[in-house]
Chains A and B, each alone.
Chain A
Amino acid sequence: MIPVLVKRDFASRVRGMPYVITTVLGVLVFIGLGFAPVLMEYFAAAFAEDTLDILVVDYTGEFLPVLAEVAADSGAEAVRIEAVPVGEESTAFQRVIDEGRDGLLLVDLPEFAFTTLDAANYAQNSRLQNLLDRSLTRLNARNLGLGADELAKLFAAADLQVRQIGAGEDGEEGGDFTSSAVLAYFMIFMIYTCLIMYGNMVASGVAEEKSSRIMEVMIAKVKPTELMFGKILGIGALGLMQFAIWVAAALATNAVRRAGLFGLPFDTGISLGNVQPVLLVWFAVFFILGFFFYASIYAAGGAVVSRVEEVNQVVTILTMLIVVGFIVAFMSFTNPNGRLAVIASLIPFTSPMVMFARLTLGSPPAAQVAASVILLVLAVVCGAWLSGRIYRVGVLLYGKRPTFREILRYMRG
């Protein structure tokens, strides 16, 4: 009997506008992420600032040459500097306006004054600030008698490499870390979105059956628990298919980039190829268990209301729990083995996201991972059983929504 129900729930939604739209949007997001670096370059170029074009009056006589040197390092398109002799400040002001230059810089160390028509241009101000900082540093270094080599030593960047104990025996961590973290963020976001989206779909599907009164025909023919699982599996299949389409889109994007089509570089951006396969397995485990856990509770929620409009009131608390899990999962990123993360990764309401977050960031103790999975599986079984009981009584009740105490009574049967 269940296959017929699963098929109906699947088929009646797969053609629906909401499903088609979210699927297509998801595909676009995946493709977009794949091409994000390229797109970012494109947009950066499109919005690139014009040349910083300024007139300079140097009262010290020693700053201008250094400034010109630093400006030349930045490239001729980036900065254009024209010196103005001391005493011609007033005509220089006029020239800024007449010639459409960015401004007039007066240098009287340690003070600088910049007069411009566009004083609120934050980007321009910070570029100038940066330019002056570097020039001043170089000038000071020179005055202290430092050569070019010593200067390079002074400004050498610290080469920090973070390594996780236990991971990367094959020596493959390192550079991938950032982009895989970004992808992990994204995967957690997907768990979050899918739990809410498909949970709500289950709840409103049940409420719809009640409000359209098809429920009585169904319940005469099928056990309530069969009906519930038919719906959960049908909608779950819908979710898996959407997920498969998205992954396919991501892989296709990858392949396009790997093939070097459109002259796109492969080594930048977010790519599924950066994720260890074991993480994908964990993702599937927590995605599916989390879905079953929440879907059965959502189904019970849908069963205690009479009309579709009331669903929101009931499922809000579930949505809030999912949001909490999502937030804690993100907080875990900064400290994946902190007390909050450990506790939340054991509680079934939050563990699908939090434990997965911890897994993406390193190796939580195996005992904790095992405990998390076992607790979640137990919760799925108990949740389905309790929800089945609520469902059985709830589906034929109309009118006033049952109180919490009445719901507890349904659970006892």
Chain B
Amino acid sequence: MALSVLNVTKRFRDITAVKDLSFKVDRGRILGFLGPNGAGKTTTMRVILGILKPDAGHVSWEGRPLSYWGPALFGYLPEERGLYPKMHMHEHLVFLGQLNGLSSRDAKVRADQWIERLGLGEYRGKRIEELSKGNQQKVQVIGALLHQPKLLILDEPFSGLDPVNTAMLKEVLLEQSQTGCTVVFSSHRMDQVEELCEDIVLIHRGELVLSGNLQRIKSAMGRQILRVALEGRRDFWRRIPGLTLLADRPDYLEFRIDPSLDPNIVLTQALQAGKVIRFELMEPSLDQIFVERVGAGA
């Protein structure tokens, strides 16, 4: 196990932000860290990085506390983006590289490579405050991985990025994981998590709700989502017990199907109601799992 979070609890006065949370991440994997707003994601990340001390439990990397490995082990992109506004971009990246133990020469070379790669070349000598929000975010991402950390902790890395830059960042994260870097990132966008992550951890009110391999979680939930498209009476389902309408779209209806209900019964009823164009049993999407587990209000 590369990263191990064990029974971590963090309280702020009378609020318990994280409660007895445990999960593990293998080396080189990408973990999606999910939860509604205020679930304790940022607090957990801060505890992992040692910014906050847990009230109980501990965090380890390869069996030793993170402090043993030193700050160069990880790269961190906090949710609250921040850079020194008056510094020039290239200078700022070199500074962050040096802060993570790079020599000034290495930091300069690598900063140049990344600037080129993420298409920031024309802003090289500009002050940070002159860059757009999206470009500042790219600078900060570079700052987090310039020193080739073994662990990347990214808090909402995609928020505020346009589709082109989102795609670029996904590519970078996949590449980092292929070279052995362990990536933990939080997101509200379930589609991004499904696309990138093999593993997920879902927390709610500071407690673990789900964790493990995304594919296995989905399989374990069963093929409980049913999509039906038909020409005819669309209200045929009302008489069938165990069927809950999730979405009424112009081109199809989406249901959750109770495990006790035989899908064939639904199909029979549908055929009587009209011409069935589509009848598909599916695994739930991460979005649906999320909503189901933490409630629609989250």
Chain B residues with CB below 8 A from A218, complex form: 99
Q: Give which listed residue, B80, B83, B100, B140, contacts A221 with CB less than 8 A.
A: B100
Complex Cα distance, B50 from A364, in Å, reads: 51
Interface of B is mostly: loop
Complex Cα distance, B74 from A4, in Å, reads: 19
Complex Cα distance, B87 from A5, in Å, reads: 13
Which chain A residues in 187-244 approach chain B with CB under 8 Å? 209, 212-222
Min distance, Cβ B87 to any Cβ of chain A, angstroms: 6
Q: Give which listed residue, B78, B86, B87, contacts A217 with CB less than 8 A.
A: B78
Interface assignment of A396: CB less than 8 Å from any CB of chain B: yes
Q: Judge whether B71 and A220 touch: CB under 8 Å.
A: yes
Interface assignment of A8: CB less than 8 Å from any CB of chain B: yes
Q: Judge whether B83 and A212 touch: CB under 8 Å.
A: yes
Chain B residues with CB below 8 A from A396, complex form: 51
Min distance, Cβ B146 to any Cβ of chain A, angstroms: 12
Chain A residues with CB below 8 A from B50, complex form: 220
Interface assignment of B134: CB less than 8 Å from any CB of chain A: no
Interface assignment of B61: CB less than 8 Å from any CB of chain A: no
Which chain B residues in 61-119 approach chain A with CB under 8 Å? 71, 74, 76, 78, 80-87, 95-96, 98-100
Interface assignment of B206: CB less than 8 Å from any CB of chain A: no
Interface assignment of B40: CB less than 8 Å from any CB of chain A: no
Interface assignment of A12: CB less than 8 Å from any CB of chain B: yes
Q: Name which of A209, A220, A222 has the most chain B CB atoms within 10 A of its CB.
A: A220
Min distance, Cβ A168 to any Cβ of chain B, angstroms: 52
Min distance, Cβ B135 to any Cβ of chain A, angstroms: 16
Q: Judge whether A212 and B95 touch: CB under 8 Å.
A: no
Number of interface residues of A (CB under 8 A): 19
Interface assignment of B35: CB less than 8 Å from any CB of chain A: no
Q: Give which listed residue, B78, B96, B143, contacts A213 with CB less than 8 A.
A: B78
Q: Judge whether A217 and B71 touch: CB under 8 Å.
A: no
Q: Judge whether B84 and A217 touch: CB under 8 Å.
A: no
Q: Judge whether A214 and B99 touch: CB under 8 Å.
A: no
* Given A4-B98, A16-B86, A221-B99, 19 additional A-B pairs, CB 8 A: A4-B95, A8-B84, A8-B95, A12-B86, A212-B83, A212-B84, A213-B78, A213-B80, A214-B82, A216-B76, A216-B78, A216-B80, A217-B78, A217-B143, A220-B49, A220-B51, A220-B74, A220-B78, A221-B71
**Selected A-B contacts with CB under 8 Å, 14 pairs:** A4-B98, A8-B87, A12-B87, A16-B86, A213-B78, A216-B76, A217-B82, A217-B143, A218-B99, A220-B49, A220-B71, A220-B74, A220-B76, A222-B71
Interface assignment of A1: CB less than 8 Å from any CB of chain B: yes
Closest Cβ neighbor of A396 among chain B residues: B51
**B interface residues (Cβ-Cβ under 8 A, vs A):** 49-51, 71, 74, 76, 78, 80-87, 95-96, 98-100, 140, 143
Which chain A residues in 160-180 approach chain B with CB under 8 Å? none
Complex Cα distance, B80 from A220, in Å, reads: 13
Complex Cα distance, B49 from A8, in Å, reads: 24
Closest Cβ neighbor of A3 among chain B residues: B98
Q: Judge whether B82 and A212 touch: CB under 8 Å.
A: yes
Min distance, Cβ B73 to any Cβ of chain A, angstroms: 11
Q: Give which listed residue, A4, A12, A16, A215, contacts B82 with CB less than 8 A.
A: A215
Min distance, Cβ A101 to any Cβ of chain B, angstroms: 66
Complex Cα distance, B284 from A327, in Å, reads: 76
Closest Cβ neighbor of B79 among chain A residues: A216
Q: Name which of B81, B86, B96, B99 has the most chain A CB atoms within 10 A of its CB.
A: B99
Min distance, Cβ A73 to any Cβ of chain B, angstroms: 66
Complex Cα distance, B84 from A217, in Å, reads: 11
Q: Judge whether A12 and B84 touch: CB under 8 Å.
A: yes
Closest Cβ neighbor of B129 among chain A residues: A212
Chain B residues with CB below 8 A from A1, complex form: 99
Closest Cβ neighbor of B76 among chain A residues: A220
Min distance, Cβ A191 to any Cβ of chain B, angstroms: 28
Complex Cα distance, B101 from A222, in Å, reads: 11
Min distance, Cβ A10 to any Cβ of chain B, angstroms: 12
Complex Cα distance, B98 from A221, in Å, reads: 11
Min distance, Cβ B47 to any Cβ of chain A, angstroms: 11
Complex Cα distance, B83 from A220, in Å, reads: 14
Chain A residues with CB below 8 A from B49, complex form: 220
Complex Cα distance, B203 from A347, in Å, reads: 54
Q: Judge whether B83 and A214 touch: CB under 8 Å.
A: yes
Min distance, Cβ B126 to any Cβ of chain A, angstroms: 15
